[in-house]
């Protein structure tokens, strides 16, 4: 999910409905945490996301990617928003190459500024990241769901902390391990990767798969798992050395939030290697097959509901609550 570039991972709400099955609390987080301390918190974030999306719809999948990149590094604590020094002599987390092309920080900062005028010192940047991602999903046609809030902002941000992020070149074994380290299982891996149903990726993330893939007989070339016609299609759009051209992550259905991304993965038309890897292990193949089946719409498993569950679960990774951390006045710097 986090590996599709700025619009990928690289992804309307005046009232948000709770999708059946989504947990309403997690630890000390709870739905409606700001209902008394800042009643406008969620509607303000949604309004700001809408304003930015009206100007540039590609910001929506970018906001989902932003949450992924925040939560996978020491938990959902807004550490990825820190600019400049991350404390002491270290560089901030966001300077890690794993965060390349990350966008949406300006959306979070804009919402924060508005909330500081409405409810000074109340709403954390970490919660704004999660709320903005939730709203962005709904604006793309994804599920609407409640998310528990009450996160506090972290007080550290180190460039090396982001080394743990999943990478587009990771094997399925490495991907499963990185997700498991954050309390996420194989089902969550497939579901969260499915956020690539909306958004684009930069050719930068395809170069190795198209031209520098290690071949069994030695040497390097194109990934032999890519169907011949699809390989020609990808190479025609991403020439050697082209890092900036963007193309849809979900071939043929980039504008719709649906299970097309999983059918593409199943049929060999995954654009990036980490998506293709989901069909390289029995544990994840079964999940891909289950959600990409046409029968699942009627008999389950239910993709939209389960995707919402996975987003809530990811949003609960390593959260700071109570007196831990702080509530930043400006999201890009510690108080």
Active-site residues, by number, are 69
Quote the tokens at residue 77.
């604590």
| 166 labeled binding residue | yes
| 70 labelled ligand-binding | yes
39 marked among binding-site residues: no
Q: Distance between CA 19 and CA 142 in Å, rounded?
A: 11
197 has binding-site annotation: yes
CA atoms within 13 A on the CB side of 15: 1
Any binding-site annotation on 223?
no
Q: Which residue has the tokens 């903005």?
A: 132
- Give the CA distances from residue 19 to residues 22, 42, 147, 260, 312, in Å, rounded to whole numbers and listed in that order: 6, 17, 10, 21, 11
135 annotated ligand binder: no
User: 73: annotated binding-site residue?
Assistant: yes
HSE-CB for 62 with a 13 A CA cutoff: 21
Asked whether residue 296 is marked as a ligand-binding residue, the answer is no
CB atoms within 10 A of CB 258: 17
On the question of a cis peptide bond just before residue 301, with omega within 30 degrees of 0, the verdict is: yes
Could you tell me which residues are annotated as the binding site for heme b? 196
Could you tell me which residues are annotated as the binding site for Ca(2+)? 70, 73, 75, 77, 79, 197, 250, 258
Could you tell me which residues are annotated as the binding site? 70, 73, 75, 77, 79, 166, 196-197, 250, 258
Could you tell me which residues are annotated as the binding site for substrate? 166
């Amino acid at each position: 999910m986090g590996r599709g570039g700025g619009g990928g991972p690289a992804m309307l709400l005046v009232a948000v409905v709770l999708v059946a099955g989504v947990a309403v609390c997690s630890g000390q987080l709870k739905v409606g945490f700001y209902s008394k301390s800042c009643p406008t918190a969620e509607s303000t974030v949604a309004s700001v996301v809408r304003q930015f999306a009206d100007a540039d719809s590609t910001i929506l999948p970018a906001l989902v990617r932003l949450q992924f990149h925040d939560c996978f590094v020491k938990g959902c604590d807004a550490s990825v928003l820190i600019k400049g020094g991350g404390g002491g002599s270290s560089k901030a987390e966001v300077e890690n190459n794993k965060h390349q092309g990350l966008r949406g920080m300006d959306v979070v900062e804009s919402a924060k500024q508005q909330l500081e005028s409405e409810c000074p010192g109340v709403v954390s940047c970490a919660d704004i990241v999660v709320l903005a991602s939730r709203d962005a999903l709904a604006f793309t046609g994804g599920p609407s769901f409640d998310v528990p809030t009450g996160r506090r902002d972290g007080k550290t941000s180190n460039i090396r902390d982001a080394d743990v992020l999943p990478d587009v070149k990771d094997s399925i074994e490495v991907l499963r391990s990185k997700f498991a380290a954050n309390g996420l299982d194989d089902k969550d891996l497939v579901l969260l990767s499915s956020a690539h149903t909306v958004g684009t990726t930069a050719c930068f993330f395809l170069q190795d798969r198209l031209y520098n893939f290690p071949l069994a007989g030695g040497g390097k070339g194109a990934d032999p798992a890519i169907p011949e016609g699809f390989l020609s299609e990808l190479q025609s759009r991403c020439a050697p050395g082209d890092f900036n051209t963007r193309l849809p992550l979900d071939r043929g259905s980039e504008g719709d939030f649906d299970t097309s991304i999983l059918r593409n993965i199943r049929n060999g038309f995954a654009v990036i290697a980490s998506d293709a890897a989901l069909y390289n292990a029995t544990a994840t193949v079964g999940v891909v097959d289950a959600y990409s089946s046409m029968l699942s719409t009627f008999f389950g498993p239910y993709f939209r509901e389960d995707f919402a569950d996975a987003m809530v679960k990811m949003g609960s990774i390593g959260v700071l609550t109570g007196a831990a951390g702080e509530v930043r006045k400006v999201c890009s710097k510690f108080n």
